[in-house]
Structure 1
Amino acid sequence: MAYGISTYAYFWRISARAPQPMTLTEMLHDTARLGGEVFQICDYAPVESYDSAQLADVRGTARDLGLRLELGTRGVRTGHLRKYLDMAGELGVTLVRSMLNTADHRPAPDEAVALLGETVPEYADAGVTLGLETYEQVATDDLLAVVRGVGSDHLGVVLDPGNSVARLERPADVVAATAPYVVNIHVKDFAFTRRDGWVGFTYAGCPLGEGLLDHDGMIAAVRAARPDADGINQIVEHWLPWQDEGFETTARLEHQWTQHSITTLLGGTSLSDTLSRSK
């Protein structure tokens, strides 16, 4: 398995709260410096407006840095997925992540199967795999019904077990159910903490290895179910809450969490060591 970073690991540093949001080129360089092998351009709206020359520049930068690229979007409408297939071709991408729902389209499983039945064969012909992510808006059983209904080796699951907790699905159950269909893995840890006064809980991200994600168990399950598991990439993401101290503190933590995640995946040092080096 190769290890990489998503635009979601730069969530605050590319947001409107950043005094000067990072560019895609800066994220690519940062990923290479941290030791990442893959960069997933996921739900990053600006890339949809890039012309062929701009996409070629992104592809060339990634190549020069030794990075592979992946794409991520939302929705299963035919025209939208064809647009991303065209972009995949220009970027040299072989994995596109999507989600069933968008703000204005929530297809039932039968409709999703029909729509994907039009575009997945085109993805297959181009050598591109489409992965549908696990998340709380769609029951894992329904997501798998769509994948099985299309029945293509070029349609699978992007596994992110933390997302489904809000649907009261246990992460271990999501992993077990989806393992035979996984084509990409999002790595983000998560935890519940008590609110002030012990009134309820906050469910948010935490540094990898400090929360409820059984990363070793997840990878073991996928390896046991997928003979081709070595070709599945693990992509670092975060659920880092905004820090009351402001942008600089939030951005520094975001970087530290990313560095820690990649270092951990590569078999390196602990978060305390990462924090010490970052001071």
Structure 2
Amino acid sequence: MIGLGTYAFFWQHSDQVPEPLSLVGAFEATAEMGVELFQICDYAPLESMDDAALADAAASARDLGLTIELGTRGVDRDRLARTLDLAGVFDARLVRSMLYSPESRPTRAQAEQWLRAALPAYEASGVDLALETYEQVSTADLVGLVARIDSERLGICLDPANVVARLELPRDCVEQAAAHVTSIHVKDFAFTRQPGWVGFTYGGAPMGDGLHDYPHLLETVKPRENGINEIVEHWLSWQGDAETTVRTEREWTRRTVEYLRSAS
């Protein structure tokens, strides 16, 4: 299933625009596009919402016919337990996380211990935990960790754009992780020359214009055949003013959804 994530609304949610979009506003925009899945990922206000506000947001998602997934950072037991509680509120069946959080940077052995302690609750609840590929941890190490733990509820959130920062090739990341992928973050990416041709900037690109070989990902991972959701997000830089940035963000989202719908 194609979904949108909060990173598809990064600037619209931010305080850089005159009227930041609420979470429910993002739900409504998602439904208006005919998309039925939304991943609330690294959305800071979620942490401070009280029970009534959470219940209202969950009710809004249900009224709009949206399936919800959640995303956090870190694998300490308290964080994963709290996010599992939130998953219950939203009827979410998948939680995306990363090994490190702003507060913790466990060794591989610590991360494995924490995950083994947290996973029985996920298994009992029928909720998948997907660890994202990113530059802080090699793809080989992440795949090895998931394989060692060998839980039916532990998988990988595949984002091959992230690993370029540790000099991994995106295609290699896709191929190494393929057997364990349970979620995909979809965005295109490219290098552009800095002014004066002194260095490069690595950032986002409109879907289909960058370096992401998405047909290779589809062929290798087979998300549609395997029931793996594809979540749209962007690396869009500020476009000089709020109006232009929001308009571009919305256009990139529309373009990515159309790309995914037409891809096979």
TM-score strictly above 0.5: yes
Partner of 1:91: 90
- Provide the rounded CA distance (Å) in 1 between the counterparts of 2:53 and 2:103: 29
Deviations 1:44-73 (A, max 9, x none): 011122233322222221122121000000
Partner of 2:174: 175
1:35 and 1:262 in contact (8 A); partners too: no
Partner of 1:211: 210
Deviation at 1:105, TM superposition (A): 1.3
Q: Which runs of 4+ in 1 moved over 3 A?
A: none
State how 1:184-223 maps to structure 2 within 5 Å.
184-223=183-222
Deviations 1:152-205 (A, max 9, x none): 010000000000000000000000000000000000000011111111111110
Deviation at 1:144, TM superposition (A): 1.4
Query: Do structure 1's residue 256 and structure 2's residue 256 form an aligned pair?
Result: no
Q: Tell me the TM-score normalized by structure 1.
A: 0.91
> What is the aligned length?
263
Partner SS, residue 238 of structure 1: coil
Partner of 1:162: 161
- Provide the rounded CA distance (Å) in 2 between the counterparts of 1:196 and 1:49: 41
- Provide the rounded CA distance (Å) in 2 between the counterparts of 1:221 and 1:98: 23
Partner of 1:232: 228
**Alignment match of 2:237 (pick from 238, 241, 244):** 241
Q: Tell me the TM-score normalized by structure 2.
A: 0.96
State how 1:10-89 maps to structure 2 within 5 Å.
10-89=9-88
- Provide the rounded CA distance (Å) in 2 between the counterparts of 1:106 and 1:112: 9
- Provide the rounded CA distance (Å) in 2 between the counterparts of 1:58 and 1:122: 24
RMSD (CA atoms): 1.4
1:160 and 1:187 in contact (8 A); partners too: yes
Which stretches in structure 2 are left out of the alignment for 5+ residues?
none
Partner SS, residue 13 of structure 2: coil
Deviations 1:69-110 (A, max 9, x none): 000000001011000001101110000000001123111211
Partner SS, residue 21 of structure 1: coil
Deviation at 1:19, TM superposition (A): 1.2
Partner SS, residue 96 of structure 1: strand
Tell me whether 50-59 or 251-260 shows the greater mean CA deviation.
50-59
Partner of 2:115: 116
- Provide the rounded CA distance (Å) in 2 between the counterparts of 1:69 and 1:103: 24
Tell me whether 137-146 or 167-176 shows the greater mean CA deviation.
137-146
- Provide the rounded CA distance (Å) in 1 between the counterparts of 2:243 and 2:15: 14
Deviations 1:246-272 (A, max 9, x none): 11111110010001111221129xxxx
**Alignment match of 1:265 (pick from 217, 236, 260):** 260
1:62 and 1:68 in contact (8 A); partners too: yes
Which stretches in structure 1 are left out of the alignment for 5+ residues?
269-279
- Provide the rounded CA distance (Å) in 2 between the counterparts of 1:221 and 1:12: 32
Deviation at 1:41, TM superposition (A): 0.3
- Provide the rounded CA distance (Å) in 2 between the counterparts of 1:219 and 1:97: 20
Partner of 1:274: none
1:109 and 1:145 in contact (8 A); partners too: no
Partner SS, residue 11 of structure 1: helix
